[in-house]
A and B are shown apart, each in its own frame.
Chain A
Amino acid sequence: MNVTQEHLREEFDAYVASDKKIEPKDWMPDAYRKTLIRQISQHAHSEIVGMLPEGKWIGRAPSLQRKAILLAKVQDEAGHGLYLYSAAETLGVERADLVDDLLSGKAKYSSIFNYPSLTWADIGAIGWLVDGAAIMNQVPLCRCSYGPYARAMTRVCKEESFHQRQGYSIMMQLMKGTDAQKEMAQDALNRWWWPSLMMFGPSDSESTHSSQNMKWNIKRFSNDELRQRMVDMTVPQAECIGLKMPDPDLKWNEEKGGHDFGEIDWTEFYDVIAGNGICNKERLEERNKAHDDGAWVRDAAVAYSEKRKANKQR
Protein backbone atom coordinates (compact mmCIF):
# COMPACT_ATOMS: atom_id res chain seq x y z
CA MET A 1 0.00 0.00 0.00
CA ASN A 2 1.54 3.36 -0.97
CA VAL A 3 1.24 6.55 1.03
CA THR A 4 -1.74 7.92 -0.90
CA GLN A 5 -3.63 4.69 -0.53
CA GLU A 6 -2.86 4.49 3.12
CA HIS A 7 -4.14 8.00 3.55
CA LEU A 8 -7.31 7.19 1.64
CA ARG A 9 -7.79 4.10 3.73
CA GLU A 10 -7.51 6.10 6.96
CA GLU A 11 -9.99 8.65 5.69
CA PHE A 12 -12.37 5.89 4.66
CA ASP A 13 -12.19 4.18 8.05
CA ALA A 14 -12.83 7.45 9.85
CA TYR A 15 -15.70 8.31 7.52
CA VAL A 16 -17.38 4.94 8.04
CA ALA A 17 -16.72 5.04 11.79
CA SER A 18 -18.63 8.34 11.96
CA ASP A 19 -21.63 6.48 10.50
CA LYS A 20 -21.58 8.30 7.15
CA LYS A 21 -22.64 6.70 3.85
CA ILE A 22 -20.21 5.63 1.15
CA GLU A 23 -21.50 6.34 -2.37
CA PRO A 24 -20.52 4.61 -5.67
CA LYS A 25 -17.99 7.23 -6.78
CA ASP A 26 -16.24 7.45 -3.40
CA TRP A 27 -12.94 5.73 -2.87
CA MET A 28 -13.25 2.39 -1.09
CA PRO A 29 -10.88 -0.45 -0.24
CA ASP A 30 -10.96 -3.36 -2.68
CA ALA A 31 -11.91 -5.78 0.07
CA TYR A 32 -14.90 -3.59 1.02
CA ARG A 33 -16.03 -3.52 -2.60
CA LYS A 34 -15.60 -7.29 -2.94
CA THR A 35 -17.45 -8.05 0.27
CA LEU A 36 -20.35 -5.88 -0.78
CA ILE A 37 -20.53 -7.39 -4.26
CA ARG A 38 -20.54 -10.85 -2.72
CA GLN A 39 -23.17 -10.01 -0.12
CA ILE A 40 -25.50 -7.97 -2.35
CA SER A 41 -25.38 -10.43 -5.23
CA GLN A 42 -25.95 -13.40 -2.91
CA HIS A 43 -28.91 -11.52 -1.55
CA ALA A 44 -30.22 -10.87 -5.07
CA HIS A 45 -29.73 -14.52 -6.04
CA SER A 46 -31.64 -15.57 -2.92
CA GLU A 47 -34.59 -13.44 -3.97
CA ILE A 48 -34.62 -15.02 -7.42
CA VAL A 49 -34.22 -18.63 -6.29
CA GLY A 50 -36.68 -17.89 -3.50
CA MET A 51 -39.36 -17.27 -6.11
CA LEU A 52 -39.34 -20.96 -7.01
CA PRO A 53 -40.64 -22.75 -3.89
CA GLU A 54 -43.42 -20.19 -3.44
CA GLY A 55 -44.16 -19.83 -7.15
CA LYS A 56 -45.08 -23.49 -7.21
CA TRP A 57 -48.14 -22.73 -5.08
CA ILE A 58 -49.55 -19.84 -7.14
CA GLY A 59 -51.47 -22.35 -9.24
CA ARG A 60 -52.83 -24.09 -6.15
CA ALA A 61 -53.59 -21.09 -3.93
CA PRO A 62 -56.92 -21.99 -2.33
CA SER A 63 -58.83 -18.73 -2.91
CA LEU A 64 -58.70 -15.90 -5.42
CA GLN A 65 -57.60 -13.50 -2.70
CA ARG A 66 -54.75 -15.79 -1.60
CA LYS A 67 -53.74 -16.26 -5.22
CA ALA A 68 -53.57 -12.49 -5.77
CA ILE A 69 -51.57 -12.00 -2.55
CA LEU A 70 -49.11 -14.74 -3.42
CA LEU A 71 -48.67 -13.44 -6.96
CA ALA A 72 -47.96 -9.99 -5.56
CA LYS A 73 -45.52 -11.41 -3.03
CA VAL A 74 -43.51 -13.44 -5.52
CA GLN A 75 -43.54 -10.45 -7.84
CA ASP A 76 -42.06 -8.38 -5.00
CA GLU A 77 -39.23 -10.91 -4.71
CA ALA A 78 -38.45 -10.43 -8.41
CA GLY A 79 -38.46 -6.68 -7.81
CA HIS A 80 -36.08 -7.06 -4.86
CA GLY A 81 -33.78 -9.12 -7.06
CA LEU A 82 -33.88 -6.41 -9.68
CA TYR A 83 -32.93 -3.52 -7.43
CA LEU A 84 -30.35 -5.52 -5.53
CA TYR A 85 -28.65 -6.41 -8.82
CA SER A 86 -28.81 -2.70 -9.65
CA ALA A 87 -27.23 -1.85 -6.30
CA ALA A 88 -24.46 -4.38 -7.04
CA GLU A 89 -23.93 -2.80 -10.47
CA THR A 90 -23.03 0.50 -8.78
CA LEU A 91 -19.90 -1.34 -7.58
CA GLY A 92 -18.70 -1.95 -11.12
CA VAL A 93 -20.09 -5.40 -11.96
CA GLU A 94 -22.69 -6.48 -14.55
CA ARG A 95 -25.95 -8.20 -13.72
CA ALA A 96 -25.38 -10.75 -16.50
CA ASP A 97 -22.05 -11.83 -14.99
CA LEU A 98 -23.54 -12.15 -11.53
CA VAL A 99 -26.38 -14.27 -12.93
CA ASP A 100 -23.86 -16.48 -14.72
CA ASP A 101 -22.12 -17.09 -11.40
CA LEU A 102 -25.43 -18.16 -9.88
CA LEU A 103 -26.25 -20.48 -12.78
CA SER A 104 -22.83 -22.12 -12.81
CA GLY A 105 -23.09 -22.81 -9.08
CA LYS A 106 -20.15 -20.53 -8.30
CA ALA A 107 -22.20 -17.99 -6.36
CA LYS A 108 -24.20 -18.91 -3.29
CA TYR A 109 -27.79 -18.12 -2.38
CA SER A 110 -29.67 -18.62 0.86
CA SER A 111 -29.77 -22.33 1.74
CA ILE A 112 -33.31 -22.03 3.03
CA PHE A 113 -34.64 -22.27 -0.51
CA ASN A 114 -33.17 -25.73 -0.89
CA TYR A 115 -35.95 -27.05 1.32
CA PRO A 116 -39.13 -28.17 -0.44
CA SER A 117 -42.54 -26.45 -0.16
CA LEU A 118 -44.86 -29.40 0.31
CA THR A 119 -48.21 -28.02 1.44
CA TRP A 120 -50.15 -24.76 1.42
CA ALA A 121 -49.12 -24.25 5.06
CA ASP A 122 -45.52 -24.07 3.85
CA ILE A 123 -46.45 -20.82 2.12
CA GLY A 124 -47.61 -19.57 5.52
CA ALA A 125 -44.46 -20.82 7.24
CA ILE A 126 -42.15 -19.35 4.62
CA GLY A 127 -43.76 -15.93 4.93
CA TRP A 128 -43.91 -15.99 8.70
CA LEU A 129 -40.54 -17.60 9.52
CA VAL A 130 -38.30 -17.24 6.48
CA ASP A 131 -39.32 -13.67 5.71
CA GLY A 132 -39.37 -13.05 9.45
CA ALA A 133 -35.74 -14.16 9.75
CA ALA A 134 -34.87 -12.19 6.62
CA ILE A 135 -36.30 -9.00 8.15
CA MET A 136 -34.37 -9.62 11.34
CA ASN A 137 -31.19 -9.87 9.26
CA GLN A 138 -32.04 -7.03 6.92
CA VAL A 139 -33.42 -4.23 9.08
CA PRO A 140 -29.89 -3.45 10.38
CA LEU A 141 -28.76 -3.31 6.73
CA CYS A 142 -30.92 -0.23 6.19
CA ARG A 143 -28.16 1.50 8.18
CA CYS A 144 -25.36 -0.21 6.24
CA SER A 145 -22.43 2.06 5.33
CA TYR A 146 -22.89 1.59 1.57
CA GLY A 147 -25.58 4.06 0.44
CA PRO A 148 -27.18 2.23 -2.52
CA TYR A 149 -27.47 -1.00 -0.53
CA ALA A 150 -28.88 0.76 2.52
CA ARG A 151 -31.51 2.53 0.41
CA ALA A 152 -32.48 -0.67 -1.43
CA MET A 153 -32.86 -2.43 1.91
CA THR A 154 -35.18 0.25 3.25
CA ARG A 155 -37.65 -0.58 0.51
CA VAL A 156 -37.06 -4.34 0.68
CA CYS A 157 -37.75 -4.36 4.41
CA LYS A 158 -41.04 -2.50 4.04
CA GLU A 159 -42.25 -5.13 1.59
CA GLU A 160 -40.82 -8.03 3.58
CA SER A 161 -42.81 -6.97 6.61
CA PHE A 162 -46.00 -7.29 4.53
CA HIS A 163 -44.81 -10.71 3.43
CA GLN A 164 -44.28 -11.79 6.98
CA ARG A 165 -47.75 -10.66 7.95
CA GLN A 166 -49.35 -12.50 5.04
CA GLY A 167 -47.52 -15.66 6.09
CA TYR A 168 -48.68 -15.33 9.66
CA SER A 169 -52.21 -14.63 8.44
CA ILE A 170 -52.18 -17.92 6.48
CA MET A 171 -51.07 -19.77 9.61
CA MET A 172 -53.64 -18.00 11.76
CA GLN A 173 -56.43 -18.89 9.35
CA LEU A 174 -55.31 -22.53 9.22
CA MET A 175 -55.24 -22.73 13.02
CA LYS A 176 -58.84 -21.51 13.11
CA GLY A 177 -59.84 -24.20 10.63
CA THR A 178 -60.41 -27.96 10.46
CA ASP A 179 -58.23 -30.57 12.18
CA ALA A 180 -56.55 -31.30 8.85
CA GLN A 181 -55.71 -27.62 8.42
CA LYS A 182 -54.27 -27.40 11.95
CA GLU A 183 -52.13 -30.46 11.32
CA MET A 184 -50.92 -28.93 8.08
CA ALA A 185 -49.86 -25.76 9.93
CA GLN A 186 -48.08 -27.62 12.73
CA ASP A 187 -46.28 -29.86 10.23
CA ALA A 188 -45.05 -26.83 8.31
CA LEU A 189 -43.76 -25.18 11.49
CA ASN A 190 -41.97 -28.42 12.44
CA ARG A 191 -40.19 -28.57 9.11
CA TRP A 192 -39.36 -24.85 8.69
CA TRP A 193 -38.42 -23.82 12.23
CA TRP A 194 -34.85 -25.13 12.38
CA PRO A 195 -33.91 -24.17 8.81
CA SER A 196 -35.19 -20.64 9.61
CA LEU A 197 -32.87 -20.42 12.62
CA MET A 198 -30.02 -21.60 10.40
CA MET A 199 -30.62 -18.53 8.21
CA PHE A 200 -28.65 -16.44 10.71
CA GLY A 201 -25.53 -18.35 9.77
CA PRO A 202 -22.96 -20.17 11.85
CA SER A 203 -22.64 -19.38 15.54
CA ASP A 204 -20.46 -16.37 16.38
CA SER A 205 -17.46 -18.52 17.28
CA GLU A 206 -17.49 -20.02 13.74
CA SER A 207 -18.40 -16.98 11.64
CA THR A 208 -15.65 -15.96 9.20
CA HIS A 209 -16.83 -12.64 7.76
CA SER A 210 -18.24 -11.07 10.89
CA SER A 211 -15.60 -8.91 12.56
CA GLN A 212 -14.40 -6.95 9.51
CA ASN A 213 -18.00 -6.43 8.39
CA MET A 214 -18.87 -5.08 11.81
CA LYS A 215 -16.01 -2.58 11.59
CA TRP A 216 -17.18 -1.45 8.15
CA ASN A 217 -20.74 -0.99 9.37
CA ILE A 218 -22.00 -3.60 6.93
CA LYS A 219 -23.01 -5.82 9.80
CA ARG A 220 -24.41 -4.39 13.02
CA PHE A 221 -25.33 -7.39 15.17
CA SER A 222 -23.82 -10.85 15.52
CA ASN A 223 -25.46 -13.99 14.12
CA ASP A 224 -26.28 -15.30 17.57
CA GLU A 225 -27.76 -11.98 18.74
CA LEU A 226 -30.11 -11.93 15.75
CA ARG A 227 -31.00 -15.61 16.18
CA GLN A 228 -31.93 -14.97 19.82
CA ARG A 229 -34.21 -12.10 18.75
CA MET A 230 -35.89 -14.37 16.20
CA VAL A 231 -36.64 -16.99 18.84
CA ASP A 232 -37.95 -14.44 21.31
CA MET A 233 -40.17 -12.85 18.68
CA THR A 234 -41.58 -16.10 17.27
CA VAL A 235 -42.38 -18.09 20.41
CA PRO A 236 -45.25 -15.86 21.60
CA GLN A 237 -46.60 -15.60 18.04
CA ALA A 238 -46.79 -19.39 17.82
CA GLU A 239 -48.40 -19.68 21.25
CA CYS A 240 -50.97 -17.05 20.37
CA ILE A 241 -52.44 -19.19 17.57
CA GLY A 242 -51.99 -22.56 19.30
CA LEU A 243 -48.88 -23.86 17.52
CA LYS A 244 -46.32 -25.89 19.45
CA MET A 245 -42.64 -25.05 18.94
CA PRO A 246 -40.71 -28.12 17.78
CA ASP A 247 -37.96 -27.76 20.38
CA PRO A 248 -38.09 -29.74 23.67
CA ASP A 249 -35.27 -27.62 25.10
CA LEU A 250 -37.08 -24.35 24.62
CA LYS A 251 -37.81 -22.48 27.85
CA TRP A 252 -37.96 -18.94 29.17
CA ASN A 253 -34.84 -17.83 30.99
CA GLU A 254 -35.81 -15.10 33.42
CA GLU A 255 -32.21 -14.17 34.16
CA LYS A 256 -31.23 -13.37 30.57
CA GLY A 257 -34.70 -12.11 29.68
CA GLY A 258 -34.92 -14.42 26.68
CA HIS A 259 -35.53 -18.01 25.69
CA ASP A 260 -33.02 -20.83 25.97
CA PHE A 261 -33.31 -23.09 22.98
CA GLY A 262 -31.92 -26.35 21.61
CA GLU A 263 -28.77 -26.79 19.57
CA ILE A 264 -29.03 -26.42 15.81
CA ASP A 265 -28.11 -29.48 13.75
CA TRP A 266 -24.89 -28.00 12.34
CA THR A 267 -24.19 -31.11 10.28
CA GLU A 268 -27.37 -30.47 8.33
CA PHE A 269 -26.49 -26.77 8.08
CA TYR A 270 -23.09 -27.39 6.46
CA ASP A 271 -24.46 -30.22 4.38
CA VAL A 272 -27.08 -28.00 2.70
CA ILE A 273 -24.48 -25.26 2.13
CA ALA A 274 -22.24 -27.86 0.53
CA GLY A 275 -24.99 -28.56 -2.01
CA ASN A 276 -26.57 -31.66 -0.49
CA GLY A 277 -29.93 -30.13 0.48
CA ILE A 278 -33.16 -31.73 -0.69
CA CYS A 279 -33.64 -29.31 -3.58
CA ASN A 280 -30.21 -27.79 -4.35
CA LYS A 281 -29.97 -29.56 -7.68
CA GLU A 282 -33.58 -28.92 -8.71
CA ARG A 283 -33.46 -25.20 -7.92
CA LEU A 284 -30.33 -24.60 -9.98
CA GLU A 285 -31.58 -26.76 -12.84
CA GLU A 286 -34.85 -24.86 -12.87
CA ARG A 287 -33.06 -21.50 -13.00
CA ASN A 288 -30.73 -22.74 -15.72
CA LYS A 289 -33.60 -24.07 -17.81
CA ALA A 290 -35.49 -20.77 -17.56
CA HIS A 291 -32.34 -18.89 -18.54
CA ASP A 292 -31.55 -21.17 -21.49
CA ASP A 293 -35.16 -21.26 -22.71
CA GLY A 294 -35.24 -17.47 -22.69
CA ALA A 295 -31.97 -16.95 -24.59
CA TRP A 296 -33.64 -16.56 -28.00
CA VAL A 297 -36.04 -13.97 -26.56
CA ARG A 298 -33.24 -11.87 -25.07
CA ASP A 299 -31.29 -12.16 -28.34
CA ALA A 300 -34.33 -10.99 -30.28
CA ALA A 301 -34.82 -8.00 -27.99
CA VAL A 302 -31.18 -6.96 -28.46
CA ALA A 303 -31.32 -7.47 -32.24
CA TYR A 304 -34.52 -5.45 -32.50
CA SER A 305 -33.15 -2.58 -30.47
CA GLU A 306 -29.97 -2.49 -32.55
CA LYS A 307 -32.02 -2.39 -35.76
CA ARG A 308 -34.00 0.54 -34.39
CA LYS A 309 -30.84 2.40 -33.46
CA ALA A 310 -29.38 1.79 -36.93
CA ASN A 311 -32.61 3.01 -38.59
CA LYS A 312 -32.55 6.20 -36.55
CA GLN A 313 -29.00 6.95 -37.55
CA ARG A 314 -29.77 6.50 -41.23
Chain B
Amino acid sequence: MDALLRLGDDALVLAQRLGEWCGHAPALEEDIALTNIALDLIGQTQSYLSLAGSLDPDAPKTDDELAFLRSDREFKNLLLVEQSNGHFGDTIARQFLFDKYALLRAEHVAQQTFDMDAAAIAAKAVKEIRYHADHSSKWIIRLGDGTSESHSRIQKSINDLWKFTGEMFAADEVDIAGSIAGLLPDLTALKTQWDEEIDKVLLEATLVRPEDGEMKTGGRTGVHTEELVTMLAEMQVLPRTHPGASW
Protein backbone atom coordinates (compact mmCIF):
# COMPACT_ATOMS: atom_id res chain seq x y z
CA MET B 1 0.00 0.00 0.00
CA ASP B 2 2.86 2.37 0.85
CA ALA B 3 4.30 1.93 -2.63
CA LEU B 4 0.99 2.95 -4.22
CA LEU B 5 0.61 5.89 -1.84
CA ARG B 6 4.02 7.12 -2.95
CA LEU B 7 2.95 7.00 -6.59
CA GLY B 8 -0.40 8.64 -5.85
CA ASP B 9 0.91 11.31 -3.49
CA ASP B 10 3.71 12.40 -5.84
CA ALA B 11 1.08 12.99 -8.52
CA LEU B 12 -1.44 14.68 -6.23
CA VAL B 13 0.95 17.10 -4.57
CA LEU B 14 2.54 18.12 -7.87
CA ALA B 15 -0.89 18.58 -9.49
CA GLN B 16 -1.96 20.79 -6.61
CA ARG B 17 1.12 22.95 -7.16
CA LEU B 18 0.60 23.17 -10.92
CA GLY B 19 -3.03 24.16 -10.40
CA GLU B 20 -1.78 27.32 -8.67
CA TRP B 21 -0.38 28.48 -12.03
CA CYS B 22 -3.74 28.54 -13.73
CA GLY B 23 -4.27 32.06 -15.05
CA HIS B 24 -0.76 33.23 -14.15
CA ALA B 25 1.55 31.59 -16.70
CA PRO B 26 3.94 33.58 -18.94
CA ALA B 27 1.78 32.88 -22.00
CA LEU B 28 -1.70 31.54 -22.67
CA GLU B 29 -0.20 28.43 -24.27
CA GLU B 30 1.57 27.65 -20.97
CA ASP B 31 -1.60 28.14 -18.95
CA ILE B 32 -3.06 25.42 -21.10
CA ALA B 33 0.02 23.18 -20.92
CA LEU B 34 0.46 23.39 -17.16
CA THR B 35 -3.22 22.76 -16.43
CA ASN B 36 -3.11 19.85 -18.85
CA ILE B 37 -0.24 18.29 -16.93
CA ALA B 38 -2.08 18.91 -13.66
CA LEU B 39 -5.13 17.18 -15.10
CA ASP B 40 -3.13 14.12 -16.12
CA LEU B 41 -1.62 13.97 -12.66
CA ILE B 42 -5.04 14.21 -10.96
CA GLY B 43 -6.16 11.28 -13.11
CA GLN B 44 -3.12 9.27 -12.03
CA THR B 45 -3.81 10.22 -8.41
CA GLN B 46 -7.39 8.98 -8.60
CA SER B 47 -6.27 5.63 -10.00
CA TYR B 48 -3.36 5.03 -7.64
CA LEU B 49 -5.16 6.19 -4.50
CA SER B 50 -8.32 4.21 -5.32
CA LEU B 51 -6.18 1.12 -5.73
CA ALA B 52 -4.25 1.84 -2.52
CA GLY B 53 -7.50 2.41 -0.62
CA SER B 54 -8.96 -0.90 -1.75
CA LEU B 55 -6.09 -3.03 -0.46
CA ASP B 56 -7.34 -3.31 3.12
CA PRO B 57 -10.78 -4.98 2.83
CA ASP B 58 -11.49 -4.39 6.54
CA ALA B 59 -11.00 -0.64 6.27
CA PRO B 60 -11.45 0.36 2.62
CA LYS B 61 -10.87 4.01 1.79
CA THR B 62 -11.82 6.08 -1.25
CA ASP B 63 -9.34 8.17 -3.20
CA ASP B 64 -10.98 11.30 -1.77
CA GLU B 65 -10.68 10.08 1.80
CA LEU B 66 -6.99 9.46 1.24
CA ALA B 67 -6.47 12.81 -0.46
CA PHE B 68 -8.51 15.02 1.84
CA LEU B 69 -8.49 13.39 5.25
CA ARG B 70 -4.88 12.37 5.83
CA SER B 71 -2.50 14.62 7.76
CA ASP B 72 0.81 15.78 6.35
CA ARG B 73 2.58 13.05 8.33
CA GLU B 74 0.60 10.44 6.38
CA PHE B 75 1.56 11.85 2.95
CA LYS B 76 4.36 9.90 1.27
CA ASN B 77 5.33 12.20 -1.59
CA LEU B 78 8.84 13.35 -2.43
CA LEU B 79 9.95 16.63 -0.89
CA LEU B 80 10.76 17.80 -4.42
CA VAL B 81 7.15 17.92 -5.63
CA GLU B 82 5.84 19.89 -2.65
CA GLN B 83 8.30 22.77 -3.13
CA SER B 84 6.55 26.04 -3.90
CA ASN B 85 6.18 27.17 -7.52
CA GLY B 86 8.63 30.07 -7.33
CA HIS B 87 9.05 31.62 -10.77
CA PHE B 88 8.35 29.79 -14.03
CA GLY B 89 11.94 28.50 -14.17
CA ASP B 90 11.66 27.00 -10.67
CA THR B 91 8.45 25.24 -11.68
CA ILE B 92 10.02 23.93 -14.88
CA ALA B 93 13.16 22.73 -13.08
CA ARG B 94 11.06 20.88 -10.49
CA GLN B 95 8.96 19.37 -13.27
CA PHE B 96 11.97 18.33 -15.34
CA LEU B 97 13.81 16.62 -12.47
CA PHE B 98 10.62 14.80 -11.49
CA ASP B 99 9.34 13.94 -15.00
CA LYS B 100 12.51 12.12 -15.98
CA TYR B 101 12.31 10.05 -12.78
CA ALA B 102 8.55 9.52 -12.99
CA LEU B 103 8.79 8.32 -16.58
CA LEU B 104 11.44 5.70 -15.80
CA ARG B 105 9.50 4.55 -12.73
CA ALA B 106 6.17 4.36 -14.61
CA GLU B 107 7.81 2.42 -17.46
CA HIS B 108 8.95 -0.16 -14.93
CA VAL B 109 5.58 -0.37 -13.15
CA ALA B 110 3.81 -0.70 -16.51
CA GLN B 111 5.92 -3.74 -17.42
CA GLN B 112 5.96 -5.65 -14.12
CA THR B 113 3.52 -8.50 -13.50
CA PHE B 114 3.35 -8.49 -9.69
CA ASP B 115 0.39 -6.09 -9.64
CA MET B 116 -1.55 -5.98 -12.88
CA ASP B 117 -3.87 -3.17 -11.70
CA ALA B 118 -0.90 -0.93 -10.99
CA ALA B 119 0.60 -1.97 -14.34
CA ALA B 120 -2.54 -0.85 -16.17
CA ILE B 121 -2.52 2.54 -14.43
CA ALA B 122 1.18 3.01 -15.14
CA ALA B 123 0.80 2.04 -18.80
CA LYS B 124 -1.62 4.93 -19.27
CA ALA B 125 0.56 7.23 -17.17
CA VAL B 126 3.64 6.48 -19.31
CA LYS B 127 1.95 7.97 -22.35
CA GLU B 128 1.12 11.10 -20.39
CA ILE B 129 4.48 11.53 -18.65
CA ARG B 130 6.29 11.26 -21.99
CA TYR B 131 4.57 14.48 -22.99
CA HIS B 132 5.31 16.08 -19.63
CA ALA B 133 9.00 15.20 -19.88
CA ASP B 134 9.14 16.47 -23.44
CA HIS B 135 7.52 19.75 -22.39
CA SER B 136 9.78 20.34 -19.37
CA SER B 137 12.96 19.28 -21.22
CA LYS B 138 12.23 21.66 -24.07
CA TRP B 139 11.74 24.53 -21.64
CA ILE B 140 14.99 23.68 -19.81
CA ILE B 141 16.76 23.94 -23.18
CA ARG B 142 14.94 27.13 -24.21
CA LEU B 143 15.64 28.86 -20.91
CA GLY B 144 19.20 27.55 -20.63
CA ASP B 145 20.10 28.55 -24.17
CA GLY B 146 17.83 31.61 -24.35
CA THR B 147 18.97 34.94 -22.88
CA SER B 148 21.71 35.43 -20.30
CA GLU B 149 19.02 36.26 -17.74
CA SER B 150 17.06 33.07 -18.42
CA HIS B 151 20.29 31.07 -18.39
CA SER B 152 21.30 32.26 -14.95
CA ARG B 153 17.78 31.96 -13.58
CA ILE B 154 17.24 28.35 -14.70
CA GLN B 155 20.74 27.36 -13.57
CA LYS B 156 19.90 28.71 -10.11
CA SER B 157 16.56 26.88 -10.10
CA ILE B 158 18.30 23.60 -10.81
CA ASN B 159 21.01 24.29 -8.24
CA ASP B 160 18.41 25.13 -5.59
CA LEU B 161 16.30 22.03 -6.19
CA TRP B 162 19.20 19.61 -6.60
CA LYS B 163 19.25 18.80 -2.87
CA PHE B 164 15.82 17.17 -3.28
CA THR B 165 16.89 14.78 -6.04
CA GLY B 166 18.71 12.31 -3.80
CA GLU B 167 15.45 11.28 -2.17
CA MET B 168 14.19 9.83 -5.45
CA PHE B 169 16.90 7.16 -5.35
CA ALA B 170 17.41 6.66 -1.58
CA ALA B 171 15.98 3.16 -1.26
CA ASP B 172 14.30 2.31 2.06
CA GLU B 173 12.58 -0.92 3.13
CA VAL B 174 9.44 -0.14 1.09
CA ASP B 175 11.52 0.34 -2.07
CA ILE B 176 13.61 -2.74 -1.39
CA ALA B 177 10.58 -4.96 -0.66
CA GLY B 178 8.78 -3.48 -3.65
CA SER B 179 11.76 -4.05 -5.86
CA ILE B 180 12.17 -7.66 -4.73
CA ALA B 181 8.47 -8.32 -5.37
CA GLY B 182 8.87 -6.68 -8.77
CA LEU B 183 6.38 -3.83 -8.39
CA LEU B 184 8.97 -1.07 -7.96
CA PRO B 185 12.16 -0.54 -9.95
CA ASP B 186 15.66 -1.08 -8.62
CA LEU B 187 16.55 2.49 -7.71
CA THR B 188 20.29 2.11 -8.27
CA ALA B 189 19.72 1.11 -11.88
CA LEU B 190 17.09 3.82 -12.23
CA LYS B 191 19.58 6.44 -11.03
CA THR B 192 22.06 5.55 -13.79
CA GLN B 193 19.39 5.99 -16.45
CA TRP B 194 18.13 9.21 -14.86
CA ASP B 195 21.68 10.63 -14.75
CA GLU B 196 22.08 9.99 -18.47
CA GLU B 197 18.75 11.59 -19.33
CA ILE B 198 19.38 14.64 -17.17
CA ASP B 199 22.94 15.13 -18.42
CA LYS B 200 21.83 14.96 -22.04
CA VAL B 201 19.30 17.76 -21.62
CA LEU B 202 21.55 19.92 -19.42
CA LEU B 203 24.30 19.69 -22.03
CA GLU B 204 22.00 20.86 -24.81
CA ALA B 205 20.73 23.63 -22.53
CA THR B 206 24.34 24.76 -21.90
CA LEU B 207 23.72 24.24 -18.17
CA VAL B 208 26.01 22.77 -15.54
CA ARG B 209 25.01 19.74 -13.53
CA PRO B 210 25.30 20.64 -9.82
CA GLU B 211 27.58 18.64 -7.52
CA ASP B 212 25.76 16.13 -5.30
CA GLY B 213 25.92 17.80 -1.88
CA GLU B 214 23.85 16.96 1.18
CA MET B 215 20.53 15.54 0.09
CA LYS B 216 17.25 16.26 1.90
CA THR B 217 14.98 13.30 2.59
CA GLY B 218 11.96 12.54 4.77
CA GLY B 219 8.98 12.80 2.45
CA ARG B 220 8.69 9.04 1.98
CA THR B 221 8.29 8.56 5.74
CA GLY B 222 5.98 11.54 6.21
CA VAL B 223 8.48 14.09 7.51
CA HIS B 224 8.02 16.98 5.11
CA THR B 225 9.23 20.52 4.55
CA GLU B 226 7.11 23.42 5.82
CA GLU B 227 5.56 23.70 2.35
CA LEU B 228 3.29 20.66 2.55
CA VAL B 229 1.25 21.46 5.64
CA THR B 230 0.27 24.87 4.25
CA MET B 231 -0.67 23.32 0.94
CA LEU B 232 -2.84 20.68 2.62
CA ALA B 233 -4.57 23.31 4.77
CA GLU B 234 -5.82 24.91 1.57
CA MET B 235 -6.50 21.69 -0.32
CA GLN B 236 -8.43 19.97 2.48
CA VAL B 237 -10.38 22.94 3.85
CA LEU B 238 -13.85 22.02 2.57
CA PRO B 239 -13.96 18.31 3.42
CA ARG B 240 -12.47 19.10 6.85
CA THR B 241 -14.92 21.94 7.56
CA HIS B 242 -17.94 19.90 6.45
CA PRO B 243 -17.32 16.36 7.71
CA GLY B 244 -19.31 13.72 5.88
CA ALA B 245 -20.66 16.11 3.22
CA SER B 246 -20.79 15.05 -0.44
CA TRP B 247 -19.72 17.44 -3.18
Give me the interface of A with B, judged by CB distance under 8 Å: 48, 51-52, 55, 58-68, 71-72, 74-75, 78-79, 81-82, 85, 120, 170, 173-174, 176-178, 180-181, 286, 289-290, 293-301, 303-304, 307
Contact = CB atoms under 8 A, between A and B. Distances in A.
B239 A62 contact: yes
Contacts of A71: 19, 22, 35, 38-39, 42
B147 A55 contact: no
A299 B25 CA distance: 14
Contacts of B38: 71
6 nearest A-B pairs in the assembled complex, by CB-CB distance? A294-B26, A300-B146, A300-B150, A62-B238, A297-B26, A51-B23
Given A55-B22, A177-B247, A298-B26, 5 more contacts: A48-B23, A64-B12, A178-B245, A290-B24, A300-B147
A52 B49 CA distance: 29
B34 to A, nearest CB: 9
A270 B63 CA distance: 47
Given A181-B242, A286-B24, A299 B147 contact: yes
Nearest to A120: B238
A74 B35 contact: yes
Given A51-B22, A60-B237, A293-B88, A68 B246 contact: no
B32 interface: yes
A231 to B, nearest CB: 28
A66 B242 CA distance: 16
18 contacts: A58-B19, A58-B20, A58-B22, A59-B19, A64-B46, A65-B64, A68-B43, A71-B38, A72-B35, A74-B22, A74-B35, A75-B22, A75-B32, A293-B24, A294-B30, A296-B150, A297-B143, A307-B145
A301 B235 contact: no
B58 interface: no
A297 B24 contact: no
Contacts of A58: 19-20, 22
- Interface class of chain A by DSSP: helix
A286 B64 CA distance: 31
Contact of A300 (B15, B16, B149, B239): B149
Nearest to B146: A300
Contacts, number: 146
A112 to B, nearest CB: 16
A75 B147 contact: no
Contacts of A301: 142, 146
A94 B149 CA distance: 26
Nearest to A293: B87
Contacts of B141: 304
Contacts of B64: 63-65
Nearest to A48: B28
Given A178-B242, A294-B88, A297-B88, A64 B67 contact: yes
Given A177-B246, A178-B242, A67 B24 contact: no
A181 B23 contact: no
A210 to B, nearest CB: 31
B169 interface: no
Contacts of A67: 15, 19, 42
A299 B39 contact: no
Nearest to B63: A64
Contact of A81 (B28, B36, B49): B28
Interface string B186-204: 0000000000000000000
Contact of A297 (B36, B67, B89): B89
A51 B239 CA distance: 24
A114 to B, nearest CB: 15
B173 interface: no
Contact of A296 (B24, B149, B242): B149
A191 to B, nearest CB: 18
A64 B31 contact: no
Interface in B214-247: 234-235, 237-239, 242, 244-247
Given A293-B88, A297-B89, A299-B149, A59 B20 contact: yes
B207 to A, nearest CB: 13
B29 interface: yes
